[in-house]
């Protein structure tokens, strides 16, 4: 965080400052801000966030031991640390993030990119950050820090030396993206796709469209909207962009009804070692060889290239830096195991779109004489659409001729039933209530030449099953 006096911090937080020890109102604080006491470093600021099962106020002592010099709290505390009392710590850190980013913008040349979409946000964020790191100091979210806690904490990492802030905006209800993006007013807003992820929270696909379009409305006038030309719901955001005074730049595989992709990919080839294509932009065409698995990641790369070129990065530099990315993120199409039994651990998130893309990638990277195995868990936050969407995944797995469909967990059972109804018999589809049962089965079932996809939402916990299988077959 930038250096601020305790008075400036209290004013930005709209809180009451209570001094301890030798601190004065003019004492300067510049340490990192975090809600996890275990991650606090010397000089850091601890945010005592109340939670569903634990209260951050109980960990203030631990934060002090690790070097915290300031606590942001919701009630007075006895601990010997200077603290600022606010009505709500989440509102407080959002206010502080807005203040810090505004200060850095006013003093330097900070450019802000916001990214949203039903799928691909974290991968695109990582790809764009890799490109921009070659241009100047870049701050981007750790893992999927894209909610009311993670987004402000990421923003608070900017300093006066930061050239680029890449913010990822997720949401489970209308209005969240507007609030988060409104803290920084991005120069560029990237919308990847509008799909069924979190549709239960939004109440359907049209509500999801309106929620994702909040990012376009939050981009500062004169900024740029980077939109997916291949998604009709995203192209429908172009009039919104025009309404708020934005330039639109399109990326994609082809042409939509009203526009053509200015950054385009052709000749896409998916292999077990990575994904290749020809990228055309700005009048030139260059080959791109991604180490990241999956045809769907080509779209994420195109989005990152479009945003980076809008910031003045050359296509040549974009390509060279993207080719250094080994994996999108841990637990996202992460290759594990060995050439004998290859495990693809993609169990951090799952939606109908990403589940379909991962299954199709499994089919694309499995060669002659090799066997496809899909280990599948539940997709969360689908609400009333959960049953039919799980059915579709089970049916797709059968149509792709996946040899072993291993469904894990009661919430995913309809995948198994749909696979059986679609014609997957003779133990081609099996069901296990727990990951431990599935692990025991797979230890004995998997054999040389198997290509295994492990895919589920984070809440299903199959990412740890993927890790165990990767270790066992390494």
Tell me how far apart the alpha carbons of residues 277 and 286 are, in angstroms, rounded to a whole number.
9
User: Is 97 part of any domain?
Assistant: no
- Identify whether residues 290 and 359 lie together within a single domain: no
Residue with tokens 């066997």: 371
Higher pLDDT, 333 or 27: 27
Whether 278 maps to a domain, the answer reads yes
Q: Give me the percent of the chain exceeding a pLDDT of 70.
A: 97
pLDDT-derived band at 151 (thresholds 50, 70, 90) equals very high
How many C-beta neighbours within 10 Å does residue 448 have? 12
DSSP state of 313: -
End residue of a domain, out of 291, 322, 353: 322
CATH of the domain at 266: 3.40.1190.10
- Does residue 161 belong to any structural domain of this protein? yes
Same domain for 8 and 108, yes or no, is no
Residue 178: its pLDDT value, please?
A: 96
Same domain, 305 and 347: no
- Out of 40, 64, 87, pick the residue that ends a domain: 87
Last residue of a domain, one of 87, 119, 138: 87
Range of the domain at 138: 102-322
Q: Between vectors from CA 415 to CA 410 and to CA 419, what angle results, nearest 5°?
A: 135
- Whether residue 196 is contained in a domain is answered as yes
| 199 and 312 within one domain | yes
Domain-located, residue 282 = yes
Q: Are residues 147 and 208 located together in one domain of the fold?
A: yes
Q: Are 424 and 396 in contact (CB under 8 A)?
A: no
User: Which tens digits make up the pLDDT trace of 399-427?
Assistant: 999 999 999 999 999 999 999 998 866 67
Domain assignment of residue 327, yes or no: no
Per-residue pLDDT reduced to its tens digit, 172-214: 778 999 999 999 999 999 999 998 655 555 567 888 899 999 9
**DSSP code for 260:** B
Question: Same structural domain for residues 212 and 269?
Answer: yes
Cα→Cα distances 472→51, 164, 333, 338, 440, Å: 36, 41, 18, 10, 11
Query: 94 lies in a domain?
Result: no
Axis crossing angle, helix 89-107 with helix 6-13, rounded to the nearest 10: 120
Same domain, 316 and 419: no
Q: How many domains does the chain have?
A: 3
CATH code where residue 456 lies: 3.90.190.20
- For the segment 244-254, the average pLDDT, to the nearest whole number, is 94
Is there a domain that residue 95 lies in? Answer: no
Do 164 and 122 lie in one domain? The reply is: yes
For residue 49, the domain's CATH number is 3.40.1390.10
Output DSSP code: residue 172.
Answer: S
Q: Is 67 found in the same domain as 126? A: no
Whether 245 contacts 215, CB under 8 Å: no
Same domain for 77 and 193, yes or no, is no
Q: Work out the number of other CB atoms within 10 angstroms of the CB of residue 13.
A: 22
- Rounded to 5°, the CA angle 268-125-363 comes to 35
Residues 301 and 172 in one domain: yes
pLDDT category, 266, cuts 50, 70, 90? very high
- In a 3-state reduction of DSSP, which class is residue 174? coil
For the chain, state the CA radius of gyration.
Answer: 23
- Confirm if 395 and 424 have CB atoms less than 8 A apart: no
97: Cα separation from own chain's centroid: 20
Cα–chain center distance at 357? 16
H or E element, residue 241: helix 238-243
SS3 111: strand
Clarify whether residues 163 and 305 are in a common domain.
yes
């Amino acid at each position: 965080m930038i250096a601020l006096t305790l008075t400036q911090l209290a004013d930005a937080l709209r809180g009451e400052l209570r001094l301890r020890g030798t601190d004065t109102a003019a004492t300067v604080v510049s340490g990192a801000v975090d809600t996890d006491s275990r991650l606090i470093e010397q000089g850091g600021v601890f945010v005592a966030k109340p939670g569903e099962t634990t209260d951050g106020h109980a960990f203030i002592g631990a934060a002090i031991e690790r070097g915290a010099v300031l606590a942001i709290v919701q009630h007075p505390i006895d601990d010997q640390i200077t603290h600022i009392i606010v009505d709500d710590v989440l509102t407080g850190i959002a206010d502080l993030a807005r203040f810090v980013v505004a200060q850095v913008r006013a003093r330097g040349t900070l450019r802000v990119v916001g990214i949203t979409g039903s799928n691909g946000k974290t991968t695109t964020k990582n790809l764009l950050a890799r490109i921009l790191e070659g241009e100047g100091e870049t701050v981007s979210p750790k893992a999927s820090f894209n909610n009311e806690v993670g987004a402000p904490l990421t923003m608070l990492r900017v300093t006066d030396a930061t050239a680029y802030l890449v913010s990822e905006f997720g949401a489970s209800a209308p209005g969240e993206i507007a609030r988060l993006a409104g803290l920084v007013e991005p120069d560029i807003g990237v919308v990847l796709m509008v799909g069924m992820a979190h549709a239960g929270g939004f109440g359907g696909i049209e509500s999801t469209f309106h929620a994702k379009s909040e990012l376009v409305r939050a981009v500062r006038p004169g900024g740029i909207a980077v939109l997916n030309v291949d998604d009709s719901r995203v192209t429908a955001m172009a009039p919104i962009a025009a309404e708020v005074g934005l330039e639109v730049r399109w990326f994609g595989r082809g042409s939509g009804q009203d526009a053509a992709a200015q950054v385009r990919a052709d000749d896409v080839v998916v292999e077990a070692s990575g994904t290749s294509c020809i990228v055309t932009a700005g009048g030139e065409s260059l080959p791109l060889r991604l180490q990241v698995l999956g045809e769907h990641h080509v779209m994420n790369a195109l989005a990152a290239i479009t945003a980076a070129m809008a910031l003045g990065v050359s296509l040549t530099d974009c390509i060279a830096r993207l080719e250094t990315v080994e994996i999108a993120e841990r637990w996202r199409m992460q290759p594990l195991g060995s050439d004998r039994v290859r495990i693809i651990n993609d169990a951090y998130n799952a939606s109908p779109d990403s589940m379909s893309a991962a299954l199709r990638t499994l089919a694309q990277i499995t060669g002659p004489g090799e066997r496809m195995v899909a280990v599948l868990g539940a997709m969360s936050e689908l609400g009333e659409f959960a049953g039919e969407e799980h059915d579709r995944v089970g049916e797709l797995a059968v149509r792709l001729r996946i040899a072993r469909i291993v469904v894990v967990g009661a919430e995913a059972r309809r995948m198994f039933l749909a696979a059986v109804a679609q014609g997957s018999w003779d133990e081609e589809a099996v069901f296990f209530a727990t990951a431990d049962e599935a692990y025991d089965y797979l230890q004995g079932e998997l054999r040389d030449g198997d290509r295994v996809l492990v895919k589920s939402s984070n809440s299903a916990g199959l990412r740890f099953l993927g890790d165990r299988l990767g270790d066992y077959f390494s």
